[in-house]
Amino acid sequence: MKKYQAPGAPKLLAVSLSLMLIGSARAQIQEVTVTAQRAPSLESKTPVTMSTLSAQQLSDAGIDNPAGVAARLPNLELDNAADGLRITIRGVSNADTTEKGDPSAAFMLDGIYIARPQIQNLSFYDLERVEVLRGPQGTLYGRNTTAGAINVISAAPTNRFEAAAGAAIGNYGSRKTDAMLNVPVNDALALRAALAYNRHDSYLRNGQGTPYSLGLDRDDLSARLSAKLKIDADATLLLRYEHSKVDDNNDSFVPDTNFYSGVATGNPVWRGGDTRAQLTNGFVPPNSAPEQGYSRKTASGIGADLSWNLGAATLYYLGSHRSYDHDALSNFYYRVAPGFALGVHQAFSGDYAQNSHELRIASNGGGALSAQAGLYYFREESSQLYSFRDLGALGLPPYYVFPHGPTIATSKAIFGQATYRLSDKLRATAGARYTDDEKSRVGSTNFQQSSIFNPATDFKLLNAAAMGTHQSTWRLGADYDVTPSTLLYGAVATGYKAGGFNDGCLAGSVQMGLSCPAALAVPADTLFYRPETLRSYEAGVKTRFWDNKASLNLSAFHYDYKNLQLSGVAIVQGAPRFVTNNAGVARVKGLEAEGQVRPTAQDRLHYALALLDARYVSYSPDGVYSWAGNKLDRSPSHALTLGYEHAFQLARGELAAGLSARKSGAYVIAVPTQLLQYRVPSRTESDATLRYRPTRSAWSLMARVKNIENKVHPISIDSFGMVVPSDPRTVDVRLDYRY
């Protein structure tokens, strides 16, 4: 008997099968192409410990600047301190954000090294992804990568017409807008333009009895123009121009007594308290009246990225010119004795210019050997004027003025790396880099009676130094395909951060018509500090399982640091100076795990776990007390991040609800020049999102809450006792349209 079949049943069955296949594909974890080894490769097949956040992940989490990235990734702290972005990877950081300092982790935009932390925390907009590489990257990325490297990669022009716009409003007067337009002019040329505007009021409360607004605010406008030109079938040129203007407030701190008791005794103890009180600056200076603080920054950059296929190899050129200007006025809380602080005004103006060039050649083809080699050049020149006033109450000159410049830093390098396929599954890699660095600066410390130097009443001390350092760094590694979806890798590598100098001069030196008499000279071992070096041992596994619905990236590492560079303000020859010293030996070891799980097309889970033991092996901040065994700054022993999102299918669209939480163990922020250690207790911080996307519609709507607990903690503490707090609870609603 012939079975009855409803009309259209085969078609319905085919549609059902198609939907099932689509749902299965959606449930799988999507592959991400990265450039961590300076060539495109799948992240799951790249034998480097790294994390990647796509543009969609950044948008869904409401991450619109670098400081928001750390909540999603293991062993990473990115803090928007008053003096710039503070990067801590696996417990290693750097506090010297002055023109003579260098970071321990490189921050890059489209592969271009951005030297100054003050301009690194700009808006995220129209990005393709963010790559975070951990551990020394001294072979392919160069100096100042002992802790790792962060590469923010913007979207390049494409060969199709695209347009997008978004706007958001929230508490604290938050308002954000961004837009993008991509136009393919012809088969050879495509243009792209993007801009972003972000603004919110201060998170701090003024309890000083003045009408002035405080910091932890935001007001920035950024724009980017890109052009991608296909010169011929083998050569492509990508040009980018960027410009940013930031007009906010540097008074983004409160006294450390808002969070701690016992500071005057040298033993700070966390006292917790109400968030509103912690975010209130109630310090009334006994010696001066606060003024309206401000910070005005302008940054611009132009870059060229050329690739030229020569057949057996491809030639790459990456070059950039960037400039940055900064004017600011700050009202400092300036502790001069236990339990006693003054109000000090600091005025600052500075201009910076940097140029970088890299020429690299990489082999093509599928042979057993792949290799790349290159030359690198970097130069930064800057001038600054620092001015401190209102210390007359201590019987000191009313003005301390630091005219510095030019400060010049150059770095030249030659590098190469090769990978040889020993078998179908096993590969070995070797790389090396030689770097030569030079630094110089001229300037002075002026003791003045007024804002204008008067030779009859005022006095200058010479600040002048020059030094050169060089280092060879290398990497040896191997990786093995355990299965088609599981990669095992290991590496031994070294890292290097250039040495530098402090304020002062060597006896007998002469600059700017100023001499350095022996009575005022600084010994060489105090004036100069040595390069920071690292040897790293690391092993890891990257695997995808459960029909590509789950992933795990697992790594274990051990670091041996020498001459770790630590910085802080100290009084030298009667004047406040920013001093960097070498901390002897430090040892870091730990374990990291992160991944995703997609059990269904409607469910998504991400996780990250970090275990860390980062301690000094030998270090004495003052030559008397030993801090051996103490933890490095911002190095919690454990941190766990969990996030879950579920998509509800509605009649006319999709509603997705997500929750992400990060639990961090306690850690320490130390001020070595004051022999102070501030313990930041363990905490949990959670975010939630709700997103609606109509079916076959170009618009979407999202509501977000960050820091649901509304708890704040110190993200930086300086030598004067000024704390920059973290952000309180923020709420916003965002509308997006994409054509």
In a 3-state reduction of DSSP, which class is residue 49?
A: coil
Whole-number mean pLDDT of the chain?
Answer: 92
Residue 143 DSSP symbol: S
Question: What digits encode the pLDDT tens for the residues 215-250?
Answer: 999 999 999 999 999 999 999 999 999 999 999 999
Average pLDDT estimate for 444-472: 93
Out of 2.40.170.20, 2.30.30.20, 3.40.50.970, 1.10.8.60, select the CATH number for domain 9-738: 2.40.170.20
Q: What are phi and psi of 517, to 5 degrees?
A: -70, 155
Using the structure block, give the residue that is written with the tokens 């105090």.
526
Query: For residue 446, what are its two tokens?
Result: 């002026």
Runs of H (alpha helix) within 452-587: 524-527
Average pLDDT estimate for 162-177: 97
Between the CA of residue 171 and those of 222, 249, 558, 690, what are the distances in Å? 22, 19, 44, 17
pLDDT over 90 (residue 93)? no
In angstroms, rounded to a whole number, what is the distance separating the alpha carbons of residues 462 and 440?
13
- The pLDDT score that the predictor gives to residue 13 is 38
Query: Which of the two residues, 92 and 567, has the higher pLDDT score?
Result: 92
Smallest Cα–Cα separation from 151: which of 43, 244, 253?
43
Smallest Cα–Cα separation from 414: which of 364, 370, 361, 353?
361
The full length of the chain comes to: 739
- pLDDT-derived band at 571 (thresholds 50, 70, 90) equals low
**Structural domain boundaries in the chain:** 9-738
- The pLDDT score that the predictor gives to residue 575 is 61
Which range has the worst mean pLDDT, 207-211, 306-310, 716-720? 716-720
pLDDT over 70 (residue 16)? no
Between the CA of residue 434 and those of 317, 318, 480, what are the distances in Å? 19, 19, 28
- Taking only Cα atoms into account, the Rg of the chain, rounded to an integer number of angstroms, comes to 27
In angstroms, rounded to a whole number, what is the distance separating the alpha carbons of residues 50 and 38?
14
Query: Which of the two residues, 153 and 522, has the higher pLDDT score?
Result: 153
Is residue 503 within 8 A of residue 565, CB to CB? The reply is no
pLDDT over 60 (residue 4)? no
Helices (H) and strands (E) in the chain, counts: 4, 46
Is residue 405 within 8 A of residue 415, CB to CB? The reply is no
Segment (H or E) for 445: strand 426-448
pLDDT over 90 (residue 725)? yes
Percentage with pLDDT > 70 across the chain: 96
- The pLDDT score that the predictor gives to residue 11 is 43
Question: What digits encode the pLDDT tens for the residues 489-501?
Answer: 999 999 999 999 9
In angstroms, rounded to a whole number, what is the distance separating the alpha carbons of residues 67 and 78?
5
Average pLDDT estimate for 378-387: 96
Q: Cβ–Cβ contacts within 10 Å for residue 698, how many? A: 12
- pLDDT-derived band at 567 (thresholds 50, 70, 90) equals confident
pLDDT over 80 (residue 142)? no
State the DSSP string of 231-293: -SSSEEEEEEEEEEEEEE-S---EEGGGTEE-GGGT--EE----HHHHTEE----SS------
Average pLDDT estimate for 78-96: 86
Residue 117 DSSP symbol: G
- The pLDDT score that the predictor gives to residue 103 is 85
Beta strand pairing call for 148-154 and 105-109: parallel
- pLDDT-derived band at 564 (thresholds 50, 70, 90) equals confident
Average pLDDT estimate for 321-349: 94
In a 3-state reduction of DSSP, which class is residue 59?
A: helix
- The pLDDT score that the predictor gives to residue 574 is 59
Question: What digits encode the pLDDT tens for the residues 48-58?
Answer: 999 999 998 99
Using the structure block, give the residue that is written with the tokens 């030298």.
572
Segment (H or E) for 331: strand 313-337
Average pLDDT estimate for 292-316: 97
In angstroms, rounded to a whole number, what is the distance separating the alpha carbons of residues 563 and 533?
7
In angstroms, rounded to a whole number, what is the distance separating the alpha carbons of residues 62 and 69?
10
Question: What digits encode the pLDDT tens for the residues 414-437?
Answer: 999 999 999 999 999 999 999 999
Average pLDDT estimate for 549-576: 85
- The pLDDT score that the predictor gives to residue 26 is 56
pLDDT over 60 (residue 17)? no
Average pLDDT estimate for 635-650: 97
Give 364's strand partners. Answer: none
